[in-house]
Amino acid sequence: MADENTAWQLEDFVDSLVVELDKTRETLAVKAVNKPLSYSVKELSLDLNTFPSYDGDQVRFVTAQPGQEGASKITIHLNSITDQQVRATTKLPGAQTDIPIARIPVDKATKKKLRRLGIQSVDDLEHLRQKNVDLGQVSDGDIDYSQLNKQIQKSRRDQQPPQVKSISLGFDEDSVPYLSIEGRHLSVDPAFPPVAAVNRRVAQVLSRGDGELRIRLEGQLEVDNELILALDEYSVVKVNVKAR
């Protein structure tokens, strides 16, 4: 036996077991090329003598060592299923825009409760919301969906943060001067009207788009001008604009 008897989680163990079984199938498949008869492994089961422990968060197992008695027995059965069954019982891997629950900045207890409800990603949560499932009710009020929703929005937003690329001076048809701010994702939250201040005075936002914002200029620009933009509730951009 190895010197270190590491504790392991059931999920990791089953993953390793499946990988080992796939390797066996590959080996047997190679043998089958030159042999008139070949065999494939259809079922595999393993009885394990282990000592489980629960730390209040996860269940871990330590494999029984020589001479140790009183171990619990876990039996794991692996059966072959068809690709149709796989499709029917397995969720497709997450889309590129999907965010795993682990990456949402919510407290550990909420993540744990979500995992217990089988919610692995933001898309899972979205799916439940579309089905009008009240998470507060199924979690005995422990999950505050409005708070969670804010964090989800923030995580989504973090994937496409606003970027300012350039600022220029322009004049509209009525010769009113405006600052044109060009960039990407400048209008990330439709429910949040951008707020602008030029030289510490609130300025009117004339128009907003994902690629451009126009801010009305009251009076003359100074040599150095401070522009502060709040593009959504998570981002404040402060830019120094030099007039030439």
Partner 1 sequence: MDEAFVPLSELVANLGSSPADLVDEDSGVHTYVTRFEIEVPVELDIGVDEHNRLFVGSIPPLYAVDTSLRPSYHRIRFVAERTEHSDGR
Kindly list the residues in this chain that would bind partner 1 in the complex (CB under 8 A): 1-2, 4-6, 8, 12-13, 15-17, 19-24, 27-28, 31-32, 35-49, 63-68, 71
Dihedral angle at the C-alpha atoms of 94, 96, 98, 100, nearest 10 degrees?
70
Residue 99 neighbours by CB under 8 Å, 6+ apart: 121, 122, 152, 155, 156, 159
- Whole-Å CA distances, 219 to 82, 176, 214, 222, 231: 73, 10, 16, 9, 23
Query: At CB < 8 A and 24+ separation, what contacts does 45-54 make?
Result: 45/75, 45/76, 45/77, 45/78, 46/17, 46/75, 46/76, 47/73, 47/74, 47/75, 48/73, 48/74, 48/75, 48/76, 49/73, 50/74, 53/7
